[in-house]
């Protein structure tokens, strides 16, 4: 119930957060919004638990984060199904003398491979290369699917770039960036949970992406099925969405739609079709042998009526078979 209340009142949370950022106390907010102090205390407590507020005194709070997209992600994550993580972003950048800027601003850095400065921003490793910026984002971003998870990750990388510009006093211009690595995990997955409990691993690899699907509990999250890859597949979010759709389709049929089930069903349909063709050909042959006499014409009419009746019955039988099969798939 609490999770439902949180997600449905996101705008109210943001309003409270904005007023606190503008220096209002909880008492002022209670009067301004015409709600009880107890309700305001409840909302500020949740915001503190999510890392947006820090208490400084009675009714006085310091706002640590205030972006609406961050708040939306934090409030909704429990209802999500996909965890995006292990992101590495490559940002196209103007050419700067990074070392000179870092020394001027007295920002600590290390040289990677002897020539690439590396700094820490918001606890993230940032490499300042000649014509690009590489960001290693260790955070997790949750969503209903991989694309929504990546959307929140984009908000995260934009925040890091904004901080970088502010610290160095430079303008990077229009941000052009892409993920060079990203992993997406289906959380609360039953197969993954069973494998984790038994200490078993599942790893799938191919020549395009190397290891692109796995269950190994490497992150300590019991019940996570992951997709990733290091090869040439450009959009790994699409791969994860495909895996998610396939898994949910299989689950909806209680995993009955296996290759053997499909082959058996196709075989039954083919057998029924052959039988129908044989019966139809037999009736046509009988009709041709009757001739053109009045008696023959009368018999032809009877046979045609018989053919139509048999066809109607067969169609009804096939319809019942298809309905029954579809009913079994849905159960």
Mind listing the pLDDT tens digit for each residue in 256-292?
Answer: 777 677 777 777 777 767 776 666 666 666 555 555 4
| β-pair partners for 158 | none
Cα-based distances in Å from 310 to 287, 315, 318: 15, 9, 12
Helix or strand run (H / E) with residue 83: strand 82-92
**Higher-confidence residue: 52 or 125?**
125
Strand ranges, E, within 39-81? 53-57, 60-63
**Pair 144, 244: CB distance under 8 Å:** no
| β-pair partners for 176 | 92
Mean pLDDT for 157-182 is: 90
Q: Across all residues in the chain, what is the average pLDDT?
A: 81
CATH class of the domain comprising 2-73: mainly alpha
Mean pLDDT for 23-37 is: 90
pLDDT at 304 over 70: no
CA–CA gap between residue 299 and residue 107 (Å, rounded): 102
pLDDT at 317 over 80: no
Domain ranges of the chain: 2-73, 80-252, 259-330
State percent of the chain over pLDDT 70. 77
pLDDT at 118 over 90: yes
Mean pLDDT for 46-74 is: 82
């Amino acid at each position: 119930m609490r999770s439902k209340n949180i997600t449905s009142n996101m705008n109210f949370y943001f309003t409270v957060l904005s007023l606190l950022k503008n220096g209002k106390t909880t008492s002022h907010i209670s009067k301004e919004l015409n709600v009880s102090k107890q309700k305001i205390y409840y909302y500020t407590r949740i915001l503190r638990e999510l890392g947006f507020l820090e208490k400084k005194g009675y009714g006085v709070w310091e706002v640590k984060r205030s972006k609406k997209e961050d708040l939306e992600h934090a409030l909704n994550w429990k209802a999500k199904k996909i965890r995006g993580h292990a992101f590495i972003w490559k940002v196209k950048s103007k050419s700067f003398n990074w070392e000179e800027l870092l020394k001027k601003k007295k920002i600590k850095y290390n040289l990677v491979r002897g020539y690439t400065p590396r700094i820490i921003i918001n606890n993230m490793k940032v490499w300042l290369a000649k014509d690009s910026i590489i960001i290693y984002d260790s955070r997790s971003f949750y969503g209903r699917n991989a694309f929504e998870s990546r959307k929140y990750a984009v908000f995260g990388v934009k925040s890091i770039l904004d901080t970088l510009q502010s610290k160095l006093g430079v303008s990077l211009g229009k941000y052009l960036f892409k993920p060079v690595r990203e992993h997406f995990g289906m959380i609360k997955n039953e197969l993954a949970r069973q494998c984790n409990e038994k200490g078993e691993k599942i790893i799938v690899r191919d020549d395009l992406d190397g290891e692109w699907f796995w269950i190994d509990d490497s992150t300590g999250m019991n019940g996570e099925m992951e997709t990733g890859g290091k090869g040439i597949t450009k959009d790994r979010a699409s791969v994860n969405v495909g895996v998610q759709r396939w898994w949910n389709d299989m689950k909806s049929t209680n995993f009955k739609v296996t290759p053997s089930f499909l082959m058996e069903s196709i075989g039954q349909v083919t057998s029924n079709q052959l039988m129908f063709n044989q019966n139809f050909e037999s009736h046509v042959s009988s009709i041709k042998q009757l001739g053109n006499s009045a008696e023959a014409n009368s018999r032809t009419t009877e046979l045609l009526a018989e053919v139509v009746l048999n066809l109607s019955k067969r169609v009804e039988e096939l319809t019942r078979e298809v309905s029954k099969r579809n009913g079994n798939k849905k159960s």
